[in-house]
Amino acid sequence: MAISSRQWLMGLLSLVSVLALSIPAQAHLGHEHQDIPIDAPMEAVQSGGGQPNPFNPSRSSNGAIAGQVQLQLAAQPPLSGIIPAQQPVRLKLEAVDRQKTPIQQAQWQITLNTPPTNPWLTTDFPIVEGTTLLNAELKSAEDTLELETILPIRGAYRLQATATAPGMDAPVTQTFVLNVPENPVKYRNAATLAVILLLLGLVGGWVIARQPQKREDSQELAQSVRLLLSGAAVAAIVALLAVNLSAEQAAQSHAERSLNQNLSRTTAEVGSLKLEYLGDTIATVGKLADLSARLMDTRTNQPIQDVTFQLKAKDAEHGATVLAIAGKPNASGIFTWQQQFFDGAPHQIQIEALSPTSSKPVTLTQAIEVEGIAPPMSVRLKTLGYMTAIVAIGMAIGFGAGRMKRGSRRFKGFLKPNPGRF
């Protein structure tokens, strides 16, 4: 049984619609998280601008000339070698004077912003684009402030760091640009999909052009093809709307379940020390969650200032560490930070507090429920448009080649001698 042009068009458009619906929603699934190799090299990150350092010749208590302090950032492994959403990177910040001597007792304000939205090419996590990934005010436990994090998408991140220390007459601010390349596997998969769609279009165009038809039926067929294309486009848009609405309803029901769970804030005690988690228990992809903890002395009911906090935020499904930082509490004795969870999966926060008055650290684990957000409709429509364009180009080439082949056969038949003509 011969396959009609209508069947070819319907099959191709249905395939493109299914691919466009499934790829953005499943783009982030199946990631294999990696650890930072012990022997990974360290790379210095260049500053992308910042507040100029005011000049003041008076020396600070750190031995540094206030106003001539420079902030330095190093990444391990080099940013050009990491894979977004899979491989973590360790960032080391330090403030040094003109003699490259580290500044002691520095207090940091850091803000890590994700790359802006690309109007043409989306990423695996479109909701995360153009948002803040981390915002924290920390006191470095040592000369260097270290943090380990996973950068979820490709592009240019901007890390703004502000440092203050005793003896400095003004804060020092610098902005660093972290350029993260795309996963090479993404390019390979995109090229493979484009070739498949182009070949499907070529075959479809060739079959349509090679089908025999009567002259009086050509206009009717063209009208039918136009109606078929219009109907398929409307059906694809309706399907996209239905899938998007169902995803929104699923996300809403997920949020309602999270609210109904009402996760409690955990505490842990060792002797007279009590570690309390004070932050949010429910987070949303694309938004910062307010997180904090403190170590209390149950004898005086006062927070302990001389304590070092070690924090690890982990993806509960994959076991990957998405953030690891260490620092000291603020003047109120509270260790605070704002963090965005880019993956809509349950997370766990592990906090360890170590005080010089105790030989044993106090640790707790807090569960965080993360509400996922479905990709925007514009992303799905954009993907559908790209795929449809590739198929249309293939069909145009195949149709033209089929017409040329058919025309050449007719021309050869016309030139062939026919005794019946004379």
Which residue type, as a one-letter code, is found at position 366? Q
Round to whole Å and give the CA distance between 123 and 145: 30
Q: What pLDDT, on the 0 to 100 scale, is given for residue 383?
A: 82
The pLDDT tens digits of the residues spanning 107-144 come to 999 999 999 998 888 898 999 999 999 999 988 767 78
Helix (H) or strand (E) holding 162: strand 155-164
Give the three-class secondary structure for 352. Answer: strand
Which residue type, as a one-letter code, is found at position 299? R
User: Do residues 132 and 340 make contact, with C-beta atoms less than 8 angstroms apart?
Assistant: yes
When mean pLDDT is compared over 56-60, 191-195, 262-266, 380-384, the highest value belongs to: 191-195
Average pLDDT over residues 303-308: 93
Q: What DSSP assignment string belongs to 207-230?
A: HHHHS---HHHHHHHHHHHHHHHH
The pLDDT tens digits of the residues spanning 362-408 come to 999 999 999 988 777 788 778 878 888 888 898 888 888 877 766 56
The pLDDT tens digits of the residues spanning 187-223 come to 898 899 889 888 888 887 787 777 665 555 555 555 6
State the DSSP code for 37.
Answer: -
Q: Is 64's pLDDT higher than 50?
A: no
Q: What pLDDT, on the 0 to 100 scale, is given for residue 363?
A: 96
User: Do residues 165 and 144 make contact, with C-beta atoms less than 8 angstroms apart?
Assistant: no
Per-chain mean pLDDT for the chain: 78
Q: Where is pLDDT greater, at 142 or 344?
A: 344
Q: What angle do CA 15, 19, 22 make, to 5 degrees?
A: 140
Average pLDDT over residues 174-179: 95
Closest to 156 measured CA to CA, from 61, 49, 236: 49
* Cross-strand pairs, 295: 275
Q: What is the pLDDT confidence band of residue 12, given thresholds at 50, 70 and 90?
A: low
Percent of the chain whose pLDDT exceeds 90: 41
**What phi and psi, each to the nearest 5 degrees, are found at residue 273?**
-100, 135
Tokens of 212: 């025999």
Q: What DSSP assignment string belongs to 362-393?
A: EEEEEEEEEE--PPPHHHHHHHHHHHHHHHHH
